[in-house]
Structure 1
Amino acid sequence: MVQNQTFPIDVILNHRYQIKARLSSKTGRKTYLAQDQGTQIQIILKCLSPDWFAHWRIDI
């Protein structure tokens, strides 16, 4: 698991997803535009920090 990591442009994650651009960087989450190397389809990749979930409140 990679925590609080900022990925450089053009890095390939999991031998499949190539980072094309960082779209957003906020506390506990980062959003990237990536390209699936198998299908050549562009996707949105959202990386969430485990600490980010601690701020959620779930009412049951």
Structure 2
Amino acid sequence: MTKATVSRKSNGGYVLVIPGARPGDEVTVEIENARQNIASAEIHEPDSMTGDKTKDRRG
């Protein structure tokens, strides 16, 4: 598991895509697929999420 703070900017050119997370959210994620400059992750634990916390935003 990895802790991440969601941002609109990449960190040094590396992009982490977290469906259901919004800029400003702090989440613990599990990396599902990683490549040289992009990775996708699934939210494992919403540490601090903005907006409606009771609604599942993952679709």
User: Normalising by the residue count of structure 2, what TM-score does the alignment of the two structures yield?
Assistant: 0.36
Higher relative contact order (CA 8 A, sep 6+): 2
* Structure number with bigger Rg: 1
